[in-house]
Amino acid sequence: MKDRYPTKKIFVGGVAVGGDAPISVQSMTYSTTSDIEATVEQINRLHFAGADMVRVAVPQMEDALALQEIKKRISIPLIADIHFHYKLALEAAKWVDCIRFNPGNIGDKSKIKEIVKACQDRSLPIRIGVNAGSLEKEFDQKYGATAQGMVASAEYNIKYLEDLGFNDIKISLKASDVDRTVDAYRMLRPKNNYPFHLGVTEAGTLFHATIKSSIGLGALLLDGIGDTMRVSITGELEEEINVARAIIKDSGRSRDGLNIISCPTCGRIEADLVTAVEEVEKRTAHIKTPMNVSVMGCVVNAIGEAKHADVAIAYGKGSGLVMVKGEVVAKLPEKELVDRFVQEVEKFAEENA
């Protein structure tokens, strides 16, 4: 795995993005933002699920005006997503922690200057969010909705802000397929050191979005590219956070929590392993201490895996072993194994926190 690309560190509220900061996870609410109750409820759900920051759409002035009250009632950084109307950005900038807008779709330079000044006054970063589906006309005509077009748009928007003396910037380059998304991020990465917000946009339902995001964002993370990310899923809010966290962890960019090794379907399994692993996942989801555990269905590979695991179960017929660091600590009937395993995991986590 390559080292992480050395990017500038910026701050979205209290959350650092880029540099040596952990890769953060974000999502977006689907309520009408001016419906304050619904928006606060969704933001709090995302916060509880483990989001580091949340973005809300601001298409109307009533949405921008709702941000003051929303901000009072949440304790996670808030990002306003603005298109076309600079007055929405000016109102939002009074309350939020970051603005997502592209200078290219605001138009008039004096209006862009006003937004930049409002962000400078409150030390707010700006995300330039390039989307292959809405490139500025000139880049769309010249390159079409390609990775080259996305990179050209990003460079144009970056220069716009830099020329105004603004460089608290993060950048996203999203397309609805993995290929263009990965190409665009890889192409732009060596050209500046701003932190990157990763995402494959409009990626579909949980199943397909998980696969597209795992391939695309996983490949970029292995390349050392990516400082914050959103997994886009046509689904429930919490799913985006769970999948994003899993991609960061399984790409090796975070060691937090359990790395669970378990058997695939196999004719030698001597227990209800699916239920056991699901229960283990659920009951240990709160643990942050990095550790390797294995839940194995028979003795063939169980002892070998257990030697590399901090805590392990090896199932046999009607009973099994619980092991810690390769040493057997209990031999129990099948129905008691998960309870004892979870106890040992919690103990190990506490001792090694």
> Bridge-partner residues for 24, per DSSP?
228
Three-class SS of residue 32? coil
Structure tokens that stand for 182 in this block: 């990965």
Binding range to ligand SF4, per CB under 6 A, among 70-78, 131-139, 168-176, 264-272? 264-272
Contact 183, 208 (CB under 8 A): no
Structure tokens that stand for 241 in this block: 């956070």
Nearer to ligand SF4, 285 or 300 (CB): 300
Q: In what order do the strands lie in the sheet with 126-131?
A: 169-174, 126-131, 98-100, 78-81, 53-57, 24-28, 228-229, 197-198
Structure tokens that stand for 47 in this block: 């916060």
Angle (CA) 90-117-170 rounded to 5° is 85
Residue 81 CB: number of other CB atoms within 10 A?
Answer: 21
| Closest distance of CB 259 from ligand SF4, Å | 17
| Closest distance of CB 263 from ligand SF4, Å | 3
Nearer to ligand SF4, 13 or 297 (CB): 297
Residues between 85 and 104 that touch ligand SF4 (CB under 6 A) = none
- 269 touches ligand SF4 by CB under 6 A: yes
Binding mask 294-333 for ligand SF4 (x = CB under 6 A): --xxx-xxx-------------------------------
Residues between 148 and 177 that touch ligand SF4 (CB under 6 A) = none
Q: Which of 199, 192, 198, 201 is nearest to 169 (CA)?
A: 192
> Bridge-partner residues for 55, per DSSP?
28, 79
| Closest distance of CB 328 from ligand SF4, Å | 16
- Selected from 119, 263, 295, 312, the binder of ligand SF4 by CB under 6 A is 263
Binding range to ligand SF4, per CB under 6 A, among 168-176, 243-251, 292-300, 317-325? 292-300
- Selected from 6, 84, 179, 266, the binder of ligand SF4 by CB under 6 A is 266
- 268 touches ligand SF4 by CB under 6 A: yes
Contact set with ligand SF4 (CB under 6 A): 263, 266, 268-269, 296-298, 300-302
